[in-house]
Amino acid sequence: MTLEYQQQTIEVRDRFDKLKARDITLQVQSLGKTFSTNGNTVNALTDVSFDVHRREFMTIIGPSGCGKSTLVRILAGLEFATSGQVLLNGDRVTGPGPDTGMVFQTYTLFPWLTVKKNVMFGLRNRGISESMALQEAMQWIDLVGLERFANHYPHQLSGGMKQRVAIARALAAKPRILLMDEPFGALDAQTRAKMQSYLLEIWRNIDITIVFITHDLDEAIFLADRILVLKANPGEVQELIEVPVPRPRLAGQMLETPFISTRQHIGQLIHSPSSEDDGLSEVIRMTPVGDEVEPQW
Amino acid sequence: MSHLDSLVPLEQSVSTRPESDTTIKSDMSRRNANSWFTPRVGLSPGRNRALGIASFLLPLILWSAISYLPFLWHPNIKITDAGDVSYFKTGMQVERERFETEYGKLVTSGGALPQGVPTNPVYLPAPHEVATALYTSFTTEPRRKSEQWFHESLWHSITIIFWGFTLSSLVGVPLGVLCGTYAAISRLQEPFIEFFRYLPAPAFGALAVAILGIHDAPKIAIIFIGTFFQQVLVIANTTRKLDTALVEAAMTLGSGKLALLFKVVIPGILPDLYRDLRILLGWAWTYLIVAELIGTSSGITWFITQQARYKNFDNVFAAIIIIGIIGLLTDMLLARLAKRFFPWDKSGDKQSAGA
């Protein structure tokens, strides 16, 4: 039996066939992560496995506390898994490096560098000469539409502009994969929608694989080829969903059946009673329990 | 129109036009924001300036009142006519009680009564005397040829501070940055430094003289000891406050270990480091007087003790005030320079607003 969100048009199915025929860029193999604090061990991630194909746009979504941030930090090499491994183009990820670009939720532009120097940072790390780096950086700044702000300092930019520079800076370092940890989480709704379209536009034009963390359902569906849905306690893969919405994505598609059915399905997955709302539902039950008790007296 | 509105009595405007309720509320909240005492809200530039001037004016007014109003304090009598009191001399100061006893004795025994005016003790000169001394202390010739002019002793003090602070910073700043960056270095250094900073720097005076002689070296050493240990801890803390995400971002951009230190950590903390050094320089001045008492007394401390011995308390006050002025002016200059050095630093604006 196929559910509504699993019904794909020929066009969409064709896209997925092509996508899956491409090389695998990122391979995550039974990743596990436990934290121990004060003698208590917490399972943040358990047996997480998935593949990301070249030029794929994957979003990862899940309730808070499902370990999605931990997961992306492990992918970036900023944290280490307790078990399992991450392979990038077949090589094991053992630490952070220029192969895995990252855009953070907080603004991480270097405040002491102008926009263009920020974008040049990764290029200079690769040993490219100042003038060459500048030339290349300007192309990336063009791509995110900020050429007029090349000589501005980060504190002179709006939140959306800062994140655009952060994307340009990460891409300029020529990563094989771009990891994004709720990069638009701090932006207002309007800017956020614009940034999503920007990002898709950039992604369409260059050869980059993106793994994007979010807790926003619409964002997850709007951007993704496939969505990895995690569940909390312990962080496990619940489902890997193929988004049935054709590309290019437009805001209007959010009102159409493929989008809505996907949204409903993920909504049910994330808000299933097994998730961490347990405490809350007990509180809600308390009043009726009291009502039931009273007539017995 | 809005001006006229506010003239209408409150009850009336509410009863006739209930919708104006909101305007009254917003008016009140605006008045509130404009208050002198809204927590954590800055003042207008005018108020800032006025209060800045007042902070100097208030102590000056207090001092003037005590100095110029004869009914405030004035515990002594300055003799203008000794009368028949054998040990009174014109110009000498006696305590009011002593004067009254002698006066009383002469009233009963008969004789020429002493005359005098109430005055403050010699160690509290009036503002105008100190104001003149601010100038005359520079022009007063030293009593002995071997002694220094005031500007010479002042300059000597400044060089002591300079060397003590520079030597401390040359070691303390790099060590502090390393402690703040690498946990291993921090654990190796900080527990001992934490212990050492509780040892009062002057306690090392005798040791410093024994090792370094009696001239400038032990004084510089005291400033060093007083500054260094605080400096390492303060700068280590400042370094730790750098947003870890910046370092992580640099790592994902391919920065190596050295690049992280020199291209991320150091530029990232530079404005705060500079602010720390400004504060620490102030602390270095507080160790100056103790340092200069060690070995052969020198510099401004020598000048102050010497002038106190001569009972030139106006010069003593002048010297103390000049230390304050030098300190304040250097800090204002350094704050001004910070704006030029660190154009990206927004937190600096708040800091230097007062200067």
B243 touches A: beta carbon within 8 Å: yes
Residue B233: give the domain boundaries. Answer: 133-354
Q: How confident is the model at residue B33, as a pLDDT?
A: 59
Q: What is the pLDDT of residues A174-209, one digit of tens each?
A: 999 999 999 999 899 999 999 999 999 999 999 999
Q: Are B302 and B227 in contact (CB under 8 A)?
A: no
CA distance A274 to B3: 62
Q: How confident is the model at residue B28, as a pLDDT?
A: 52
Q: How confident is the model at residue A39, as a pLDDT?
A: 79
Examine residue B28 and state whether it is found in any structural domain, yes or no: no
Examine residue B75 and state whether it is found in any structural domain, yes or no: no
Backbone angles phi, psi at A24, to 5 degrees: -90, 125
Using the 8-state DSSP alphabet, how is residue B260 labeled?
Answer: I
Q: How many residues in total does chain B contain?
A: 355
B245 touches A: beta carbon within 8 Å: yes
State the pairing for strand pair A236-242/A100-103.
unpaired
CA distance B347 to A111: 12
Q: Are A212 and A224 in contact (CB under 8 A)?
A: yes
Q: How confident is the model at residue B142, as a pLDDT?
A: 85
Question: How many contiguous H segments (helices) and E segments (strands) does chain B have?
Answer: 16, 3
Q: Are B179 and B236 in contact (CB under 8 A)?
A: yes
A169 touches B: beta carbon within 8 Å: yes
Written as tens digits, the pLDDT of chain B (355 aa) is 444 444 444 444 444 444 444 444 545 555 555 778 888 888 889 999 999 999 999 999 999 999 999 899 999 999 999 888 889 888 899 999 999 999 998 898 888 889 999 999 989 999 999 999 999 888 888 888 888 889 999 999 999 999 999 999 999 999 999 999 999 999 999 999 999 999 988 889 889 999 999 889 999 999 999 999 999 999 999 999 999 999 999 999 999 999 999 999 999 999 999 999 999 999 899 899 889 988 888 899 999 998 999 888 999 999 999 999 999 999 999 999 999 999 888 764 444 433 3
End-to-end CA gap in chain B: 40
Examine residue B146 and state whether it is found in any structural domain, yes or no: yes
User: Across all residues in chain A, what is the average pLDDT?
Assistant: 88
CATH number at residue B139: 1.10.3720.10
Interface of B with A in 327-346 (CB under 8 A): 342-346
CA distance A172 to A122: 7
Which SS3 state, helix, strand or coil, does residue B59 take?
Answer: helix
Examine residue B336 and state whether it is found in any structural domain, yes or no: yes
Q: How confident is the model at residue A1, as a pLDDT?
A: 58
Question: Given phi > 0 = left and psi -120 to 50 = alpha, else beta, which region is A128?
Answer: beta
Q: Are A241 and A50 in contact (CB under 8 A)?
A: no
Examine residue B119 and state whether it is found in any structural domain, yes or no: no
Residue of A79, A110, A128, A155 best to disrupt the B interface, most CBs of B under 10 A: A110
Global pTM value: 0.81
- CB contact under 8 Å between B250 and A154, yes or no, is no
Q: Are B70 and B126 in contact (CB under 8 A)?
A: no
CA distance B84 to B101: 13
> Helix axis angle, B150-181 relative to B183-196, nearest 10°?
140
Find, in chain B, the residue whose alpha carbon is nearest to that of A172.
Answer: B253
* Residues of chain B contacting residue A126, judged by C-beta atoms under 8 Å apart: 254
Q: How confident is the model at residue B218, as a pLDDT?
A: 94
Listing DSSP states for A62-95 in one string gives: --TTSSHHHHHHHHTTSS--SEEEEEETTEEP-S
CA distance B210 to B190: 28
Token pair, residue B120, equals 């403050």
Q: What is the pLDDT of residues A120-162, one digit of tens each?
A: 999 999 889 999 999 999 999 999 999 999 999 999 999 999 9
Residue at token pair 């090389």: A23
B213 touches A: beta carbon within 8 Å: no
- Total domains in chain B come to 1
Q: Are A26 and A88 in contact (CB under 8 A)?
A: yes
Distances (CA, A) of B245 to A107, A195, B202, B242, B328: 8, 22, 42, 9, 37
Residue at token pair 């927004």: B346
Examine residue B97 and state whether it is found in any structural domain, yes or no: no
Distances (CA, A) of A195 to A159, A199, B126: 11, 6, 69
CA distance A76 to B240: 23
How many other C-beta atoms are found inside a 10 Å radius of the C-beta of residue A63?
A: 20
E strand map for A143-271? 177-181, 209-213, 226-231, 236-242
CA distance A262 to A242: 9
Token pair, residue A294, equals 């009273």
The angle subtended at Cα B129 by Cα B127 and Cα B130, nearest 5°, is: 65
CA distance B188 to B339: 36
Q: How confident is the model at residue B29, as a pLDDT?
A: 52
Distances (CA, A) of A289 to A283, A285, A295: 10, 6, 11
Q: How confident is the model at residue A40, as a pLDDT?
A: 83
Token pair, residue A175, equals 């990563």
A173 touches B: beta carbon within 8 Å: yes
B178 touches A: beta carbon within 8 Å: no
Predicted ipTM of the assembly: 0.86
Q: What is the pLDDT of residues A38-77, one digit of tens each?
A: 878 888 899 999 999 999 999 999 888 788 889 999 999 9
* Residues of chain B contacting residue A108, judged by C-beta atoms under 8 Å apart: 243, 245-246, 248-249
- Pick from B303, B298, B339, B314: nearest CA to B159: B298
Examine residue B47 and state whether it is found in any structural domain, yes or no: no
- CA dihedral (B91, B95, B97, B101) positive or negative: negative
Q: How confident is the model at residue A282, as a pLDDT?
A: 47
E strand map for chain B? 76-81, 93-95, 115-119
Token pair, residue B322, equals 């000049």
Examine residue B16 and state whether it is found in any structural domain, yes or no: no
Token pair, residue B26, equals 């917003």
A80 touches B: beta carbon within 8 Å: no
